[in-house]
Structure formats: C-alpha cells, structure tokens
Structure 1
C-alpha cells in the first residue's frame, strides 16, 4: 500500500510537467524503488528480519513489466528467477517463534464522516499502543488498517467508533508458523525419501524382493522383521488396486518379487500387476489371510530357486486355518446361524464358525472349530480395540485347553477385528 500510494502521488505530480511517457515512467518507478527501500524503517518487523516489504517488491515487478511492455521489449523469460530490487532475506524460524504480537489484524473502516489528520494521527497512536507493523491509509470515505497485536478486539472496538467495518481478517501468526514448520518437515521427509529411492534404484538389483499387503501396526512390524521390502496398507475396508501393486513393484529393486495379497479380494489385482510387469519376475502367492502371508514368508529359503520356494509356500499356506473375531453391523442369517446387530462373530476361511454375545467365548469356540489332531501352533493377533490383558487371558485359556499346541500371542493392531487367530 505504501509503495502504491507513493508511486501514485509521484505520478500525479509528474503528470503536469512530464514531456514524454518514457521519462514519466522511469521517474515513477525510481520513486517507487526509493519508497520500497525505506519500508524496513516503516515496519519494525521488516527491520528486525532485515527485509523489504514483499508486497511492495511484487508491485515493483509489475511496474517493471508494464514499462517493458510500453517499450515493446522482447522478454527473456529465463530472467524471471532473478529478483530485481533489494534482496529478500527470509525470516528464520527462531524469529517467527518469538513473535511478540500474535494476531495479524486487517479491516476497512467505512467512515461515517471524513477523518481529520489529527484524528488519523490519534488513531494510529492508539494502534501503536496495541502492537506493531502498523499500516493506516485513509481517504474521505474509507480507512485501510493493518496491525500486528495481541488484542485484535480492542483495535476493532476503537475502529467501530469511526464507522462500519468491512473485509475483516484476523490470522494467528504463531499458528501459521507451526503449520509452516510442519509443512517444511513434511517436505524435507518427502525429499529425503525420494533421494533414498533414487539411491536405491541406482544400486544393482538384488535377486529377490517381497511385497505384502498388511493392516495394523503390529502386523506391519512382523512383516518387516521377516524381511518384507514393501508393505501396502490394505484389508477389508481399503483394498489396494492394481495401480498400488504396480507402484510397489516399481519401488522394490529386485529381479524376482514375491507378492502376498493376504486377502482373496486382492489376489486378482496382484495377478493383473504381475501380467503388466515385463522387466521383473513377479510371483503371486495367493495368500487369503494375514497369517497365511506370514507363514508363506517364513517358508522362504534363500538357497532354493523360485519354483521350489513357490511350491513350498503354496504347501505351507494350505495348512493354515484362520479365524477372525469381529462384530455384526446388522441382523442377518448366514450358514444357518441367526446373527443380530452387535453380536460377536468368528469368521473362518469358508464361513461363520461361531456367534455369540461374549467376545471371549466366541474366540474360544472359533478356535475349537479349527483345531484338529494335526494342529501344532495357535497364533493370536489382537487388534487395536482389544486390551493386552484380555488377549493374555485368551492365550492362557487356549494353552490350558490345547496343551499339545504352542500358543503365540502378538499385538496385531488391526482395526475391525478384535482377534485374528491362526491354527497350523
């Protein structure tokens, strides 16, 4: 506003005497540049940061462009990254963090009557008592106000004594600073991840890589510990697409990649991604549950070739039975079982295994339906909505009920399912 006002005033002054537009434009722009250079002395926050007013500098670029247009100058667009005028220095994070007056307050007063110079001076003095970075521009009908203050309400109350307010805007500068820090951190993390991907892509490909669909923090950690290279978030409520699979394949730098869909609904997408990939050998192991994926990964033996490992994985997952404990969202009837909204259900590989009101009882009945004389291992993965103490109690009950089986308890962290239980 200051640069615009001073440039306009200079233009009015020169318009009476200027003999040609070329000299006129040069003089107006020169005066605007002088005004811009003085802005750090007008606004304390600019002086503290060591910068000129950014809006004024932007306006000056417009003036230069208009003058170039007047001259019919051929524009070299490669020069646009070279800023004209005084250099801009960014305010550092510490300066922003130590903001003395937290609210950037702006509004326009629609005056009831013209404001005298004395009244304007008194109003500006009042604003200075509330904060800093004062900009007050007045004419006979309106007053444009900008102030950084901790008490925007007081500035507004005073302004209302002169007339109605319009275009009111109050920004929390400390909050904006925090958002900026978060965005900067996210940008840095993204750049770092991209750099790591580039460095990894530059390395010669390894022989074998693994991609697995997972759901829940605990499940994901288990797959990472087993050596899976890339995890795709998936499950019943968020099934990854063929495109997700292709993106994962692109990020795994390996000649042969095994994919564990871990959900019957995702097997088709994995197969399509395999068929669309030409530069890598893709092996889709048709795992339909998370426990099957874990078992398949454990079954991998580095010394075996691709065909041998694939066969071993397929045989291993055939011996994995999975039960998932969740709740019913509506009344229904499945597999000759009456199910009411809110009931606990034990869902097996091929249908409903148990239904009831008590979560622990339904979990026990579900396991009873899966265990047979050949069972050796019972693995419990408790979900995000299940307390560890309750899961430990279930593990103890199953150890006592099936002493011939090893019972393993893991924090799965999966949503929707209170327990995912496998029997091998």
Structure 2
C-alpha cells in the first residue's frame, strides 16, 4: 500500500505498467465507479457520464462482467429501437466493512458491492474507554460478523475505520491516529485492527461522513461543499473540486478546533474558544444544565428536549439555542468566505436535531456571518445519512482503494 500524492489517502500499490495498460486500468476503474454510483444504468449512459466512446464503454463493461463485478439486469424499452440492457454492480461478488470508532465503542457495518448494508454489530457502552479496549471491541465485532457470514468473508475487500482524530499516512502506508481531544497518545491504526491479509484503511470520521454524502447523499454532484459532523465532537469534510480535502498531512477539516473566541470556554483539546466548545453536545447540554434545567441523558433525547423547550418559549433554553445557532453560523460563515461552497450539508446527531426545525435560522445565521456574495451562493441541506454516515463512508475506503488500483488485478474471487 502507498499514499496518493497530494491527498494523503492510502491506495493499493500496483507494479509499473505501460501507459496504454495504465489508461485502460483507469478507464475500467472509472466505469466500475459509474456503475456503483448509478446502481443501475446502461452502456450508453456509462459512455456519456464517463466521457468514453460507446465502443470503449461497452468493451470495459464486458470485461467487468467477465470478472464478475457487474451484471446485466434485464431490458428496458427504447424509443422505437431495440430494448436496452440495464447494467448494475454484482452485489454478491464482494463485501466491504466500515467501522465508526468512538471513545465509547464501535459500530461496524458490512456492505455488499452495491453498498447495501447486509449486517452490523455494536460493541461498547456509555463510559469512555482507552485505545486498547476500543481495539478489543473492534475485534469482537469483526469476529461476530465473520461468524454470521463465513461464506462471504473470502470476498472481503478490506476494512475502513472512521476515527476520532487526525489520521496520518506515512509513505509506506503506515497509519497513525492523533486523538488529542480524547487525551490518547498517538495510536498505530494496526494496533486497533490487524487482520491477516486484509487491507485496513483509516481516516477521520468527519471525512468518512463527507465521503458517504459525496457518493450517495446530499453532496452528490457537488464540486465544492462543506459537510459538517455535529455530535459530541465536531468535524468538517471539505470538498474541493469534487474530492474530499486532506491537506499536507491529512489534518484538513479539523474545524471543530478552530478558535472563534480567544480565551473563553475550555475545549476538550486543551485550547480555549474552539468551535466544539460551543456547539458540541457536551458544551450545549452543560450550558443548559448550568441554568438549573433538569433533563435525562446526554444524547438525542436531551437535545430534543432543549430544542422543544426553546420552541415553548423557555427563556434559558431559548438563549442557549440562540447562542448555538449564532456560533455555528459564525463558524460556518467563516468557512464560506474561505472555501466558497455551493452546498453546506449538516450531519451528525446534533446537526440532524438542529435541522429538524431550525434549518432556516441556521441558513440565515451563516449568511449573516459571511460576505454577502458567497453568502448568497450556497444551499444548506440536511445530511442524507444519519447514524450510519461514518460507517458507510468508512466502507467506501476499501472500495475506493480497489477502484484506484485496478478492479481486475486486486479483486478476490468469490
């Protein structure tokens, strides 16, 4: 495994090949991705969407059919001509696994080649745990999936991990996690998950959500977008020229630790005045509790109770919700000025709660805190993926690595 120049993303390595062969591999990968994205399409649409000639697209589809990666799915009528054959991914030909890793546990999901979830497993609890225990949870979850799906396991493309921190990839493919907000020491990704002969690829969780939304969700088709992950932690996926931005060392998007108020609230990262210290769930609910409010839990229900209280006119709840909207608007407004997105997608469980009834107010707050011209040029949308976003995006990592390498040379036989 090596690193894609300029992105920090891991890719599966290939031996040196001729320019003609490389071009064919690239086009074959392009066709496979078009088929998976479309789920069901035609040879003519593949040619149009990929920019290939009809003959080239047809030949590449034939190769992928022979390899067992795509399949013909029957006919649809055409306008006066012969019926048209539909093409789709051969779902049973491979599986991929994505894991959402947090400080309290793991959610691991298994998908087929069409990115339909076929199984899932959870491990963990309500208490914060150390990296060693998180690794135990992950291996237990993978073992459970293996035991329930032994016949499909040989087709596993790899395991993608969405992690709570900065994930750096060295030139030899070695990956390290730097989770400063959790107080963890640097963690080797392989210490969390080491499966014999199975590629394990990792990225920051917010980038994983962005990947899911870019492939199949509210950011699909966008060339420039911001995808916010709002939960206990706060992160951002930045889409530039249709790709998730990584920066020189994979730390691009650590927006939750951008300082918006110098010297004020303490953040989990140790700094003061970070975005997360105002719009992370712990910060929001702690502020409400300090007003004397009594509520249950620290999650979905509690956040809903806060918003409902604000809608009823409760003064304390209204003040906190107003502050959250304004802080979030300021933080995103700065990113609008910096990146010029065409879309802003709000996800994560806190983000989904806010978007249920406060989307218009949030849009207005972002426009208020950005320059008028770029502020008029974005659309604010709710994320398509809820709690499955990070796991879904993580499962796309092994699939992207297959496509980037060559779908013919790296796949496993079913």
Under TM normalisation by the shorter chain, which class is it? under 0.3
- Structure with more of its chain in helix, by fraction: 1
Larger radius of gyration: 1
Determine which structure has greater relative contact order: mean sequence separation of CA pairs < 8 Å that are 6+ residues apart, divided by chain length. 2
Q: TM-score, normalised by structure 2?
A: 0.25
Q: TM-score, normalised by structure 1?
A: 0.24
